[in-house]
Structure 1
C-alpha cells in the first residue's frame, strides 16, 4: 500500500524558470526533460515571444513577466538562469513568494548578499541551492578515491584551468552592471575545484585579473592559493584563450590529470590519467549526466526539507574566495582566505 508521504515523494517537483537564457535553452531545460524527479511547468520572460519559443519546445506554459510566474500556485520551485548580477534580487523575490530556488552559479556576487539569501531561505523553511553541477559528476568522486588510495602519494599541489575563446560582444558576461567578468563565470570552476579537493582554510597568496576597457570587466586571471596543510593551488581562467577545462593533482609519488573536467557532455566518457614513475595508466570512466544529477538532488532536497549537507556553506565559501581574489588582485598581493 502506498502512503500519502510516499506518493508526494514520487511526485515530480513542479518548476518554473525565470528567464530565457541560452544556458537554459541548450543545457539545463533538456536536463530537466531527462529527469523523473522534476519537470518544468512554466517559463517566464519579459518578452512573451521568447517565453512562447521555450514553451513550444519544452511543453510548458509561457508566462510574461517574472512576477506573474512567482504568483502561480502551481509552481513549487524556481530555476533561476538570469545573469549573475540579478541573482540576489530574484532569488529573494522567489523565496518571499514561497518558492524553493535553484540559482545558477554563483549564488550572489558578494558574500554579504549570499549570506542574507541563505539566512532568508532558512528562516522561511525553503530550500535554496546553487547550480554547482560539476561536483555532481561521478568522475570527481573517482578522483578523490584514487588520491585517498595513494595513487599519487601525498598531495602536494593542485592546478586547475577553465578557459574559453572570446564571447560575442553583446554577451551579458561582458556587462559590469549584470555581474559580468571571467572571475565570477569561468573562474568559478577552478576555485570550487580547489575547495573540493583541498582541505581546510584556503589563503590567497596572490592574484591577477586582466580587465578589458571595452567592457569594464575582467576577462582573465590567475590565482595562487595555499591550504592549511601547505598544499598549493595555481588556477587560471578567462574569456580570451583557447578552450581548456582541466585539473591536475600532483603528489609526492605521481600526478593525476583530468581533461574536460568541468562541463563535459552527458555522453562523455572521462579519462583519468595517472603517471607514477615510469608507468602511465589511463582509466576510462562511465558517462555521468551532471546537470540531471543536480536537478535530482535539488528535487530530493525540496522533498526532504533541506539542501545537502555542506552545500550552502560551500556556496558561501566560494563567494568569499572570489572576493578575496578580487581584493588580492587589487592590492597586488595576497593575505586573505576562507
Structure 2
C-alpha cells in the first residue's frame, strides 16, 4: 500500500468516527498517524505513489523577502507577475503554461521584493499529483504567499488550496501554538494548562503522545482553543507559519455588488491583472504584511540618504543587524550609533549600542572608533 493510500485509509476512518469522550483517544491516535504519513510526503524521499520528491524548483534567491504566487492553472498569476515585475512569465488560457518557477523583482518603498510565479497546482498536489509537491516545497520557503483565485469561484478554490498547503505543513495566517512538550526520563505524562481545554482533553493528548512513543513528558498548554492538530504540529516541529493574501483576480468580470461581498473575505484584495485594477492596494497590503523596516543612513556632516534604505525584517532589526546588512566589519569598528526617528527617545537623536531595536524609517549614523 502506498503512502497516499494509507493516508486515504486513515482519513476515511476519521470521517467514520464520531467525536465524543469515548472516541477521543482513538481520534488522537489517528490524527498523529495521519501527520506522520504526511511527513513522508514532505520529505525528499517520500513515496506518494506519484510525482517527484519534496524538493522544490531551483531558484536563486534575491531581495529582502520573497512572495510566492500559488493558485490553480489559468487564474492570471503569470499576467499579474509580468505586469508587477516586468519579467516575462508565459501567460495563456491553456492550463499549465508555466512549468517551472519564474522569478522577478518588484521594488516597493526602496526595498527589492522577489516575486516567484509558481506553476499552477492541482487538487491532490500534496499527495504527489502533477508538480504540486515541487510547487508547495518552494512555497514553504516564502515570506508571504499570494493565493490567486478566480473571482467567479473564489471560495471553493480557496478551500481546496488551503487544504493542499495545510497537508504540506504550511499554516496560513496563524502563529505557532503556545504549547510546549518537554520529554523526560520517567514520571509519565504530566499535563498543565493555564486556560480551559475546550477542543482537546487529556485522553486525546495522551493518545497523540503515545502514537509518537512519548510516554514520559511535561505538556504545558497556555493558549485557548488548542486542538489535537495543534499538538501534532508542535511535536512534528516542521511546520511553517506564513502570512497569506488572497488575490481575487478578474474583478472586471463581476458587478459592484459582487465586489462588495468579496471584500468580506479576510486578508483579501480584489484585483484585475488584465485591466490593472486595484494593484496599488495589493502592493501596499503586501508591504504591510511583510512587516519590513526601512532604515536610512546618515554620513557625518551630511543629510540622510533617503534614496537607498537599508531594509530589515521585523524581529531582526537591531543596530547590529543594520551594520551586518551593510558590511560585517562595521560592527567591529563601531564606537556607538546615533538614531533619529520612532525608536529614539528624543527628536535631537539618541546615542545607542548594538542591541537597540530600530523602527521603520529611522535614520542612523554610525560613529567609528
Report TM bin, short chain. under 0.3
Higher relative contact order (CA 8 A, sep 6+): 1
The structure with the larger Rg is 2
TM-score under structure 1 length normalisation: 0.26
Query: Structure 2-normalised TM-score?
Result: 0.24
Greater helix content: 1
